[in-house]
């Protein structure tokens, strides 16, 4: 009988409860260590823990589970410690077992990442983004700034702003598609870019990135530059317009345009290659990608001559484009060699390179601006329409239109502070 009585006392002593501790105030070195020293003294179990610092102001939350017999003493010591430190506020809230279990159960829901980018971001723009996600019942778990802090005294240095939201909730495939469309509309109206991705291991482990070349890596259409030098730009442009109206397909229009280049000296191509207008942010993006071990490919409806020039410049791993035939006299024959790289071919090549590199298709990225890029944008794990035409943006899941090509880094999850020398502007 005495043993039973002692066991009852033991159970009473070991009864535990959950307490949510909220700490805010001036950030300082050693604060977390001081708090944890007290919790460790009473063998508190940490159930959840989070912290954010905004302009040297700290906000911390700690959810603990602790023996009821010690909880009062823990709260008292924590209160004394924060009073001693000064400029620190602390609060406590009990969390019932049922409330905790309900909260823990919600953690299994799908998680998503929403990234928004602009030259700058206003409260109105952030409101537009958060209003869309709240409409679909997604809860914001965390908010993180990926770009460096802006300068008030030197606003010309404020070249970009990026914020990443960690979201939790459930979306059916139909809801996800509707959300993407609403975000695309919102982004266009609000003048900012966005990426909405499922937060899974593939998002954190991208390994292969494929770029269109003309109007993506470079701010030019090489066939137009060749046509200008050869005095046939108007004829080439008329064929391009006919193709865009759907009167002829890409292969037919490509064949006709190449034929007009007959007789152009190869030296002209070399001069154009050496003066290609590189897209803003390309140097920074390529430096980071190479440093971090990404495989990089150019999949272009343009020409291999220019793709190979960029390959040498940036150490690109693969180049697939259209090869112009050159005669013994060093002039273009007006014909091309091999299979035309059109939209279908780009998607096929993306899959082929992924297989060669043993990369899951979900770990691939594709970036392009034209309608012939849509197949590879939709095939890749992350497809990004870059300064794209309206129809392309409308059919892509992610887009960048407000900043340079290095905006891709933020969609992958890089922070400016992580990029070191490679990330300097």
* pLDDT, average across residues 222-240: 94
Nearest CA-CA partner of 410 in 365, 359, 347, 369 = 365
Structure tokens at 237: 């442009």
Q: Mean pLDDT throughout 182-209?
A: 92
User: What is the average pLDDT across 93-102?
Assistant: 90
Q: How far is CA 25 from CA 56, 74, 208, 336, in A?
A: 9, 20, 44, 68
Domain boundary among 199, 223, 241: 199
Rounded Cα distance between 107 and 101, Å, is 10
Q: Is the pLDDT of residue 313 over 60?
A: yes
Helix 123-135 vs helix 173-190: angle between axes, to the nearest 10 degrees? 160
Q: How far, in Å, CA of 80 to CA of 63, rounded?
A: 19
Predicted pLDDT at 155: 65
Looking at 68, 83, 105, the residue that finishes a domain is 105
Lowest mean pLDDT among 7-21, 66-80, 262-276, 343-357: 7-21
**314/391 same-domain check:** yes
Q: Which two tokens stand for residue 33?
A: 């260590």
* Residue range of the domain that includes 74: 2-105
Q: 32 and 61 in one domain?
A: yes
On the 0-12 / 13-18 / 19+ scale of CB atoms within 10 A, 73 is middle
Query: Among residues of the chain, what percentage have pLDDT more than 70?
Result: 93
- On whether both 278 and 326 belong to a single domain, the answer is yes
Confidence at 156, pLDDT banded by 50, 70, 90? low
Query: Where residue 10 falls among pLDDT bands split at 50, 70, 90?
Result: very low
Flag whether pLDDT at 196 surpasses 70. Answer: yes
> What pLDDT is stored for residue 1 in this prediction?
35
Determine the pLDDT at residue 158: 59
The CATH code of the domain that includes 175 is: 3.30.70.260
Do 137 and 90 lie in one domain? The reply is no
Please provide the size of the chain in residues: 425
The verdict on residue 252 lying in a domain is: no
DSSP state of 279: P
Average pLDDT over residues 127-145: 93
| pLDDT value of position 315 | 97
Q: What is the structure's pLDDT at 389?
A: 82
Per-residue tokens: 337: 């060699």
| Site of tokens 């996800």 | 176
Q: Do 307 and 365 have their domain in common?
A: yes
pTM reported for the whole predicted model: 0.83
At 115, list the tokens.
Answer: 């990234």
Last residue of a domain, one of 53, 82, 105: 105
Q: What is the distance between the alpha carbons of residues 336 and 375, in angstroms, rounded to a whole number?
A: 23
Two tokens, residue 31: 């604060």
Average pLDDT, the chain: 89
Residue 314 and residue 172 share a domain: no
Exposed e or buried b for every residue in 227-236, given b needs 16+ CB within 10 A?
Answer: bebbebbeeb
Q: Identify whether 258 is part of a domain.
A: no
Res. 245: pLDDT tops 80: no
Say how far apart CA 296 and CA 406 lie, in whole Å: 14
Q: Indicate the burial class of 153 (C-beta count within 10 angstroms; 0-12, 13-18, 19 or more).
A: exposed
Q: Are 41 and 159 within one domain? A: no
The vertex-346 CA angle with 340 and 350, nearest 5°, equals 140
Is residue 37 scored above 60 in pLDDT?
yes
As annotated, the active-site residues are 212, 214
Residues 304, 401, single domain; the answer is yes
Who wins on pLDDT, 130 or 106?
130
Sheet holding 57-67, edge to edge: 45-54, 57-67, 16-26, 88-95
| Res. 414 pLDDT band, cuts 50 70 90 | very high
More confident of the two residues 106 and 369: 369
| d(C-alpha 15, C-alpha 284), whole Å | 57
Distance (Å, whole) CA 324 – CA 369: 23
Spatial contact of 320 and 349, defined as CB atoms under 8 Å apart: yes
Give the pLDDT confidence score for residue 151 in this predicted structure.
72
In the predicted model, is pLDDT for residue 182 greater than 50?
Answer: yes
Most confident of 39-43, 48-52, 107-111, 238-242: 39-43
22 close to 90: Cβ distance less than 8 angstroms: yes
Q: Examine residue 239 and state whether it is found in any structural domain, yes or no.
A: no
Give the model's pLDDT for residue 4: 42
Residues 224 and 349 in one domain: yes
Range of weakest confidence among 57-71, 107-121, 150-164, 298-312: 150-164
Which residues 6+ apart lie within 8 Å of 423 measured at CB?
284, 288, 409, 414, 416
- Give how many domains the chain has, as a whole number: 3
Pairing label, strands 139-145, 295-303: unpaired
Q: Are 23 and 62 in contact (CB under 8 A)?
A: yes
**Same-domain status, 305 and 156:** no
Same domain? For 215 and 347 the reply is yes
Q: Is residue 244 part of a domain?
A: no
395 and 276 in a common domain: yes
Residue 130 has pLDDT above 60, yes or no: yes
């Amino acid at each position: 009988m005495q043993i039973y009585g002692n066991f009852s006392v033991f159970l009473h002593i070991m009864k535990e409860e959950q307490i949510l501790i909220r700490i805010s105030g001036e950030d300082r070195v050693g604060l977390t260590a001081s708090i944890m020293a007290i919790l460790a003294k009473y063998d508190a179990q940490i159930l959840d823990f989070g912290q954010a610092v905004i302009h040297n102001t700290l906000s911390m939350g700690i959810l603990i589970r602790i023996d009821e017999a010690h909880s009062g003493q823990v709260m008292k010591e924590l209160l004394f410690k924060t009073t001693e430190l000064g400029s620190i506020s602390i609060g406590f809230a009990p969390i019932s077992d049922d409330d905790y279990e309900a909260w823990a159960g919600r953690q299994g829901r799908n998680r998503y990442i929403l990234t928004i980018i602009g030259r700058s971001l206003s409260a109105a723009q952030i409101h537009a983004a958060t209003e869309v996600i709240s409409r679909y019942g997604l809860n914001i778990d965390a908010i993180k700034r990926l770009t460096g802090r802006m300068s008030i005294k030197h606003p010309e240095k404020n070249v970009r702003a990026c914020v990443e939201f960690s979201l939790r909730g459930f979306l059916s495939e139909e809801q996800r598609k509707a959300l993407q469309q609403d975000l695309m509309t919102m982004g266009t109206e609000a003048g900012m870019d966005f990426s909405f991705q499922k937060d899974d291991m593939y998002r954190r482990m991208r390994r292969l990135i494929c770029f269109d070349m003309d109007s993506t890596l470079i701010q030019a259409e090489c066939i137009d530059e060749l046509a200008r030098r050869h005095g046939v730009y108007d004829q080439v442009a008329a064929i391009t317009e006919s193709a865009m109206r759907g009167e002829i397909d890409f292969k037919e229009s490509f064949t006709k345009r190449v034929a007009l280049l007959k007789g152009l000296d190869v030296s002209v191509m070399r001069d154009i290659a050496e003066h290609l207008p590189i897209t803003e942010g390309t140097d920074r993006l390529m430096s980071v990608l190479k440093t971090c071990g990404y495989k990089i490919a150019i999949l272009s409806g343009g020409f291999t001559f220019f793709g190979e020039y960029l390959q040498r410049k940036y150490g690109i791993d693969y180049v697939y484009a259209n090869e112009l035939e050159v005669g013994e006299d060093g002039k273009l024959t007006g014909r091309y060699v091999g299979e035309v790289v059109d939209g279908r071919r780009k998607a096929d090549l993306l899959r082929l390179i992924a297989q060669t590199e043993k990369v899951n298709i979900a770990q691939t990225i594709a970036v392009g601006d034209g309608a012939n890029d849509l197949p590879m944008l939709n095939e890749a794990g992350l497809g990004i329409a870059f300064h794209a035409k309206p129809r392309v943006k409308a059919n892509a899941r992610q887009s960048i239109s407000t900043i340079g090509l290095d905006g891709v880094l933020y969609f992958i999850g890089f922070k400016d502070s992580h990029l070191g020398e490679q990330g300097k502007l």
